[in-house]
Chain A
Amino acid sequence: MKKRANILTENIIFIVLNLAFLTILFLFVFSKMGAAAVLEEKYAKQIALILDAAEPNMKIELDISDAIEKKEKKFPEGGIVTIYKNIVTVKLRDKGGYSYSYFNNVDVKVNLGKNKIGQNILYLNINEKINK
């Protein structure tokens, strides 16, 4: 009877350790996938490519809900995506941020809002540049 109990305890410890190990591994992979630095780079480059291919009078909507979730709590939502001259900057942290330039000479207005189903949407209004 004692031997059987011993075997059961060993097996349970073995299984629990394996599960803990795998959980830590998956948590590591998922944390890397959604890291703020990765999202900053992803969105800066994505927005730069969108603007490169855009034409005046276009209105573009981009879902950035995952970036909003990952931003630092005190970091203002208005400062997440900024466009100055022809450089897109995405910042989710005070000490961080990623900038990427685009070559299409257009004027861009950026607004952040929510759509009907509550997703955080970045609205990009593309206009012709007045002072070329």
Chain B
Amino acid sequence: MNKKATDKIISVYWFAVLFLVAAAVVYMVAIFYGEPFDIRKIEADILVNQVVDCIAEGGYLNSQIYKEGNFSINNENFLEICNLNFELEDFGDWQGQGQYYVELNITNLASNNIFLGPIKVGNFHLKDNCGGSKNFPQCRDRSFYSLSKEGDKQIKYQINILASVRKTEKNMG
């Protein structure tokens, strides 16, 4: 085989390799940009933060929801008091299902009894699927401590919040 013929064969292989590379790039770009942006973990994080801000302020239980040993918060008024709105866009069967879930309980650390709750708001089925793969609801579980003043005493509480966001169809391909 002379040199010219060899060069031509090499260039054919070269173009074959280029087409393979192009096909791989097109495939990867299509996969990457075809997938929706998954923001559910951030949403769940923000949801937990909003509930924390609603329950406690400056290390103490919020005076708007806790006065003289009584909580004014319950399953019915939780969304209104914490300024949340779980209404959804008209997409698939989202409105019938509910795509958010929040669970809150407050434990008195001295007596180790559950002091309030659990308050459960939203689609409680989402809790069962927490911790699964990306096709399942994304959850955030957070605990923190807070105080309340009762006379000269300071009572310590542990507050547990679980937030779960589904919205799988809009966040997973």
Query: A residues bordering B, Cβ < 8 Å?
Result: 10, 14, 17-18, 21, 25, 28-29, 32-33, 35, 38, 41-42, 45, 48-49, 52-53, 85-87, 99-101, 103-106, 129, 132
B8: nearest residue on chain A (CB-CB)? A10
Chain B residues with Cβ below 8 Å from A86 are 85, 87
Contact with A along B81-97 (1 / 0, CB 8 A): 00111111101000000
A103→B49 CA distance, assembly (Å): 12
Cα A45 to Cα B43 with chains together (Å) = 10
Per DSSP, chain B at the interface is helix
Q: Tell whether A42 pairs with B91 under 8 Å between CB atoms, given A14-B11, A32-B29, A104-B85.
A: no
A-B contact list, 19 entries, CB within 8 Å: A10-B7, A18-B18, A25-B25, A28-B26, A32-B29, A35-B33, A45-B37, A49-B39, A99-B91, A100-B170, A101-B88, A103-B47, A103-B50, A103-B85, A103-B86, A104-B83, A104-B84, A129-B83, A132-B80
Distance of A29 Cα from B30 Cα, bound (Å)? 9
Of the candidates B18, B43, B84, B89, the one whose C-beta lies within 8 Å of that of A87 is: B89
Residue from A25, A85, A99, A106 within 8 A of B22 (CB atoms): A25
Complexed CA–CA distance, A132 and B78 (Å): 13
Bound-state CA distance A45–B46 (Å) is: 13
Interface assignment of B117: CB less than 8 Å from any CB of chain A: no
Taking CB atoms, residues of chain A closer than 8 Å to B79 are 105
Q: Is the CB of A49 within 8 A of B84?
A: no
Chain B nearest CB, measured from A65 CB (Å): 20
In the complex, are the beta carbons of A106 and B37 less than 8 A apart? no
Report how many residues on chain B are interfacial, defined by Cβ distance under 8 Å.
Answer: 31
Q: Which residues of A contact B170 (CB under 8 A)?
A: 100
User: B19 — nearest CB in chain A belongs to which residue?
Assistant: A21
B16 within 8 A of A: no
A95 to B159, CA, bound (A): 47
CB-defined contacts of A29 to chain B, threshold 8 Å: 25, 29
CA distance A98 to B170 in the complex (A): 10
Given contacts A53-B49, A106-B83, 20 further A-B contacts (CB under 8 A): A25-B26, A28-B25, A28-B26, A29-B25, A32-B33, A42-B37, A45-B37, A45-B39, A52-B47, A52-B50, A53-B46, A85-B87, A87-B88, A87-B89, A100-B89, A100-B170, A103-B43, A105-B85, A129-B83, A132-B80
- B residues in contact with A48, CB < 8 Å: 39
Nearest chain A CB to B28 CB, angstrom units: 9
- Compute how far the CA of A129 lies from the CA of B36 in the bound complex, rounded to whole angstroms: 31
